[in-house]
Structure 1
Amino acid sequence: MVVENGHVGVRQLSYLPAVGSPYGVEVMDFAALRAMDTHRRRVLPQRPDFHVLALVGSGGGGHEADFHDYRLTEGSVVWIRPGTVHRWSDVDACDGPLVLFRTGFLPGFTAAEAAAPACWQVDRQRLELALLAAEHLRREHAAAASTPRLASPELLSHLLAALVLRALPDATAPAGATPVDSRYTDVFRAYRAAVEEHFTDRHHVADYARALGCDARTLTRATRAATGTGAKTFLDQRILLEAKRLLAHTDVPVAGCARRLGFRDVGNFTTFFRRQAAVPPAAWRAAYGVAGARSGPASGL
């Protein structure tokens, strides 16, 4: 299901389909996660290159994603995006499905889906419907794996989209977001993809605007409609998040972090980090870095 590559402080996970499941999606559950992870690696920091959508049907516990702690209770939904550094800090009593899927398997993300948080709650009625949707996906996947003539990646993709739509929080638009003009949905999606690919070498919105064939004001309107923030803030937050990950989960020197993130010198990086995070990089590393990280058995998927 997953393989790992060496990386200081964080287990890197890459998606590998289970035998007979070459479809880019897979359904398991918390019980299977615990059974396959007898050494409790799930409680250690890990960084998957695929999506994990988890529903807590019963029980409770805890989860941590990119420096935020979340309590899990019945009705919790967790969406781990590719690149997120997370750990299942406590899922010993959780029950419910976990859906693993590759980037691109889910039909085009809408702005609402992009704005969904890492963890949220749904009420009992919507939870039951979401669990039914996950079970439908699981059964279709099992049928496709055991009987190839029944296999339909398109059907699995649509069932996954139905599950996501059923599980989305009531109010996906963040504070400050505006009603989404359909013209902006594709613009934001393209901008978000470009930022993800180039944030280490493009730090100016104008560069993205030129590459995408639009102007910076259009990017700002599209980004604000989807996320409640402007295009520059969205870009800066992405750079900052990666800086925090590097400082907390690797032993790369601050100057090395600056180079990896495309800053000309460590002074510019330090100024940027202090302005965005309100503390200098060294202080962030002292508080969250591997040297001061939680001890004990701590992550699975």
Structure 2
Amino acid sequence: MVDRTPGGAGDGDGIRTFPFPVDLSVGGVGIQVGPMGTERTWHAEAPLHRVHRIDFHVVMLFTEGPVRHMIDFAEYEARAGDLLWIRPGQVHRFSRTSEYRGSVLTMQPGFLPRATVEATGLYRYDLPPLLRPDAPQLAALRDALANLRREYEDTETLPLSLHTAILRHSLTAFLLRLAHLAASSAEATRQHADSTFTRFRDAVEGGFATNHSVSAYADSLGYSRRTLVRAVRAATGETPKGFIDKRVVLEAKRLLAHTDMPIGRVGAAVGFPDAANFTKFFHLHTGQTPVVFRAELR
């Protein structure tokens, strides 16, 4: 990546969190812009292929692909012209086999004012991390990022206060384009989804910790089980039960990775009062026990 950070801290769950390296950015400002490359890392003691967190934003614009990258336990495949937007606190891991080529922007939280943060959706964790702009959008994003990089590297023509102000404006222009793309992508996904599935998905999101029953969801939504099966399969290719189980597994993985909760409490938090049943369920869907999964992240 752009530079190496001087250290990283654990969050009590064995996953290291690496801070934004202000002292290594040009002029000590709160952003970095530069080329991606396999020879860089956040820290010399933390290989990028290990699961880790960062406390800053990362936007990668790829010029080659495909590149596989894990974000919050979901695998994404980016092609040339795609972008990945990783937000602070998300667990992620770089691929051992993919070559990362393109440009990368990193940004420290607090570099932009609150109004800009809200306008650009910097903390919209509901938006997709993988973005695929069309040709005009990609050209505009490339131009905006190239301009931002020029301003970032130009430390001679203006005093630091003006240099930083211009960086904020240039960064805002890029992020507004990026946020529009992210919101448009999410909206397009919603428009293509059947309303039956959308209601089911929202119900699962609100109830998966206590309700794993397809029939119960169908009854509460006023659908027959057959209608629900058709809608979910059309939208995702999965059965309703498979969709529910996938969400439960994701939450269990997050709790195992982010917390020191005992295995039994993790199971109870996702609807399994009996620890043995939780372990059996988790192993069935992941091929690992919760203990092994947690150990491999540490």
The answer to whether TM tops 0.5 is yes
- Partner in structure 2 of residue 109 of structure 1: 118
Give 1:72-111 correspondences, 5 Å limit. Answer: 72-90=78-96, 92-106=98-112, 107-110=116-119
Deviates more, 1:244-253 or 1:54-63: 244-253
Paired residue for 1:48, among 45, 48, 54? 54
Per-residue CA deviation, residues 36-56 of structure 1 (Å, 9 max, x unaligned), is 248881111111111101111
CA distance, structure 1, for counterparts of residue 35 and residue 45 of structure 2: 17
- Partner in structure 2 of residue 213 of structure 1: none
Whether 1:291 and 2:277 are equivalent positions in the alignment is: no
CA distance, structure 2, for counterparts of residue 56 and residue 28 of structure 1: 12
Whether 1:66 and 2:72 are equivalent positions in the alignment is: yes
TM score, norm. by length of structure 2? 0.61
Aligned length: 227
For residue 15 of structure 1, what is the amino acid of its counterpart? F
SS in 2 for 1:159: helix
- Partner in structure 2 of residue 224 of structure 1: none
CA distance, structure 2, for counterparts of residue 162 and residue 123 of structure 1: 18
Q: 1:283 to 1:72 in 2, by over 3 A?
A: farther
Q: 1:14 to 1:8 in 2, by over 3 A?
A: same
Whether 1:130 and 2:146 are equivalent positions in the alignment is: no
CA distance, structure 1, for counterparts of residue 169 and residue 190 of structure 2: 31
- Partner in structure 2 of residue 171 of structure 1: 185
CA distance, structure 2, for counterparts of residue 109 and residue 147 of structure 1: 31
SS in 1 for 2:139: helix
- Partner in structure 2 of residue 121 of structure 1: 132
Per-residue CA deviation, residues 235-266 of structure 1 (Å, 9 max, x unaligned), is x8xx99775323146765235xxxxxxxxxx4
Per-residue CA deviation, residues 69-121 of structure 1 (Å, 9 max, x unaligned), is 01110121111111100011157433211111112324222386624311121
For residue 121 of structure 1, what is the amino acid of its counterpart? R
Do the aligned residues in 2 keep the contact of 1:30 with 1:91 (CA within 8 Å)? no
Do the aligned residues in 2 keep the contact of 1:251 with 1:290 (CA within 8 Å)? no
CA distance, structure 1, for counterparts of residue 103 and residue 169 of structure 2: 18
Give 1:233-272 correspondences, 5 Å limit. Answer: 233=206, 244-248=253-257, 252-254=261-263, 266=265, 270-272=267-269
Do the aligned residues in 1 keep the contact of 2:131 with 2:185 (CA within 8 Å)? no
For residue 12 of structure 1, what is the amino acid of its counterpart? T
Q: 1:103 to 1:250 in 2, by over 3 A?
A: same
Give 1:217-236 correspondences, 5 Å limit. Answer: 233=206
- Alignment RMSD, CA only? 4.0
Whether 1:35 and 2:39 are equivalent positions in the alignment is: yes
- Partner in structure 2 of residue 192 of structure 1: none
TM score, norm. by length of structure 1? 0.61
Between the two proteins, what is the percent identity of the paired residues? 27
SS in 2 for 1:59: coil
Q: 1:284 to 1:41 in 2, by over 3 A?
A: farther
Rg comparison, structure with higher value: 2
Structure 2 segments unaligned to the other structure (5+ residues): 192-200, 210-247
- Partner in structure 1 of residue 20 of structure 2: 15
CA distance, structure 2, for counterparts of residue 251 and residue 133 of structure 1: 42
For residue 4 of structure 1, what is the amino acid of its counterpart? G
Shift of 1:68: 0.7
- Partner in structure 2 of residue 153 of structure 1: 164
CA distance, structure 1, for counterparts of residue 172 and residue 100 of structure 2: 24
Q: 1:76 to 1:68 in 2, by over 3 A?
A: same
